[in-house]
Chain A
């Protein structure tokens, strides 16, 4: 029998704006803040929905027939990337593209990796855009639309359209540009989604978080844009930074390891290493005037972490799996709400046992 508690203060929830049984602080957790890099607003998730390939308002909707038609590869070259436990083969590249990716993703490029976990066939889109930028005074959140049809997840945005079939270990990616920012952005956004889907199937997850290695352990700092993920990396000049944006959490043996991913778009640096390190803690960043931390318990920790998973939370079955995966990780790794200010003092708190 649990102790009797004042009913209205149970779990410290106040009663503002409603019954108080739903956490008010978590109502703001949305996954649309990922929009800084790849938004999920306006997503379409209609299993089995048939969409004709038609231009609607200047947009091209890629249907199954679009991908079934033979596409033109950019060239005969390929590059293989090792992202945590996932080996991704990129095929259909031109020599120039392959050399560019070799250079940009250098720590993650592997020569002898055996059969990849997924082979991504790149092709020319044959259209100048899929989605049209709507503009407006405030611009718009980067739009990514998706459709789940059987085992196939189809994605499209302004400069790319592609599908992922995890069970068949294959993916197709059509890009509107063969070089430059549109090529880079389309490729990297697609690979981010692909990585997040594949790692989830292996009991890990891609987290909107910075990852910093200190003393051989990885400390993961997460929270929405503006919470301080990049700031904590700037305040850790002598440490190894795995990422200031997206950190891969890998299930390994009985524990969890963190690693960086190279798909940082133009404004995030490529990690210096593809090595992974044991995760010491998950820290939900809260900017403050003081420095302290408090445990993030049970369902709240799950919700906070799940709310920071990009790309995998917009479909019910995948989001249920994601919640389970996160909950399993939290059985092994402690989670904290970390109040910090812009100096290195937070490390004194973070490293406390």
Chain B
């Protein structure tokens, strides 16, 4: 994934966060999804301004505070997750 790409949430998506997890409704795909607590940290950083690199570093800082994981492993996971979000049409 291009680290300089700016990611934007799908404007047709409605979402709310409950107990740290996000409920995401995608009307145009007739789907409802749940993003778990760590995924929601990343989701929250996607604001249409941050680049992929900035999202990763920003989320990294927040997640590393609370979870036992190496930075390199987390970077890989977050990039995979961002790819998943794109694949599911949740971001572009």
Q: Could you list which residues of chain A lie within 8 angstroms of chain B, going by C-beta atoms?
A: 1-2, 4-7, 10-11, 13, 18-23, 26-27, 29-32, 40-41, 45, 297-300, 302-303, 306-307, 313-317, 319-320, 322-324, 327
Contacting residue for B14 out of A27, A41, A320, CB 8 A: A320
Residues of A within 8 A of B32 (CB): 26, 29, 31, 303, 306-307, 313
B21 interface residue per 8 A CB criterion = yes
Contact, CB under 8 Å: B25 / A4: no
Residues of A within 8 A of B18 (CB): 298-299, 302, 327
Contacting residue for A314 out of B19, B27, B33, B73, CB 8 A: B27
Contact, CB under 8 Å: A303 / B33: yes
Q: Could you list which residues of chain B lie within 8 angstroms of chain A, going by C-beta atoms?
A: 11-23, 25, 27-28, 30-39, 42, 65-69, 73-74, 77, 80-81, 83-85, 87-88
Q: List 14 A-B contacts (CB under 8 A).
A: A1-B65, A5-B68, A7-B67, A11-B37, A18-B81, A19-B80, A21-B36, A21-B39, A21-B42, A21-B81, A22-B88, A316-B13, A322-B25, A323-B16
- Total cross-chain contacts (CB, 8 A): 131
Contact, CB under 8 Å: B23 / A313: no
Query: In the complex, how many angstroms separate the beta carbon of B41 from the nearest chain A beta carbon?
Result: 9
Contact, CB under 8 Å: B14 / A323: yes
Contact, CB under 8 Å: A316 / B19: no
Query: In the complex, how many angstroms separate the beta carbon of A141 from the nearest chain B beta carbon?
Result: 11
Residues of B within 8 A of A322 (CB): 25
CA separation between A6 and B66, bound complex, in Å? Answer: 11
Known contacts A18-B84, A19-B81, A29-B31; decide if A323 and B36 are in contact (CB<8 Å). Answer: no
Chain A residue nearest in CB terms to B43: A21
Contact, CB under 8 Å: B31 / A10: no
Residues of B within 8 A of A298 (CB): 18-21
Given contacts A22-B34, A22-B85, A298-B20, 15 further A-B contacts (CB under 8 A): A19-B39, A19-B77, A19-B80, A19-B83, A21-B36, A21-B84, A31-B30, A298-B21, A313-B25, A313-B32, A314-B27, A314-B30, A320-B16, A320-B25, A323-B15
Known contacts A30-B31, A40-B30, A319-B25; decide if A22 and B84 are in contact (CB<8 Å). Answer: yes
CA separation between A13 and B65, bound complex, in Å? Answer: 21
CA separation between A317 and B16, bound complex, in Å? Answer: 13
Residues of A within 8 A of B37 (CB): 10-11
